[in-house]
Amino acid sequence: MTNRIIKGMKLFLQKFILWILIICLPVICGAQSTQSYINKYRPLADSLSASYGIPAAVILAVATIESSSGAGKNAKILNNHFGIMGKNKLLKTRKIKTRYKQYPNITASYIDFCNLLAKRKYYKRLKGNINYHLWVDAISKSGYSELPLEWKKRVTTIIKKYKLSNTP
């Protein structure tokens, strides 16, 4: 009887550990892939920040959210890391219909995002200002997202969680 109890406990522990791994591993891997994405594109965001006067934290956080850390369908197929709508050739090449813009490379997507912001009314007022709160607020109010309050919260969370800005 004692052997049966020990075997039962071992089986329970094995199942419990497996369950913990199934639940926790995606969270751990997701955080690692987000950090890897940020590390990979930080130099590009820094460079564009210097050129456009848009905080690198904002550029990176928006790209992280909109591209699912580079793992999203639009990021992979269209090189679109910002959810920008426009023309693409997917219907002709892959028989896929989508409203999102296709880019020749990821850098072009980042540049287009900065150009898009540079055309907005708030740009002149905020250009060079490193306060990401002002930028995220202005972008969310300009209709960039279909769910502005949720989007603003998610972008701000990424900036804080991954310490993308020196501004509190």
pLDDT greater at residue 65 or residue 18: 65
- For residue 54, the model assigns a pLDDT of 98
- For residue 110, the model assigns a pLDDT of 98
- For residue 25, the model assigns a pLDDT of 37
- For residue 9, the model assigns a pLDDT of 62
Asked if residue 11 has pLDDT above 90, the reply is no
Number of residues that make up the chain: 168
% of the chain residues with pLDDT over 70: 83
106: helix, strand or coil: helix
- For residue 96, the model assigns a pLDDT of 82
Confidence of residue 95 (pLDDT cuts 50, 70, 90): confident
- For residue 13, the model assigns a pLDDT of 56
CA 124 to chain centre: 25
pLDDT greater at residue 90 or residue 98: 98
User: Is residue 38 a contact partner of residue 162, using CB atoms and an 8 Å limit?
Assistant: yes
Confidence of residue 92 (pLDDT cuts 50, 70, 90): confident
CA 76 to chain centre: 13
- For residue 18, the model assigns a pLDDT of 44
Other C-beta atoms within 10 Å of 23: how many? 9
Distances (CA, A) of 115 to 52, 59, 69, 108: 8, 12, 21, 10
> Tell me: the pLDDT tens digits for 12-47?
555 545 444 444 434 434 445 999 999 999 999 999
> Tell me: the pLDDT tens digits for 114-134?
999 999 999 999 999 999 999
The half-sphere exposure of 34 on its side-chain side, counting CA atoms within 13 A, is: 22
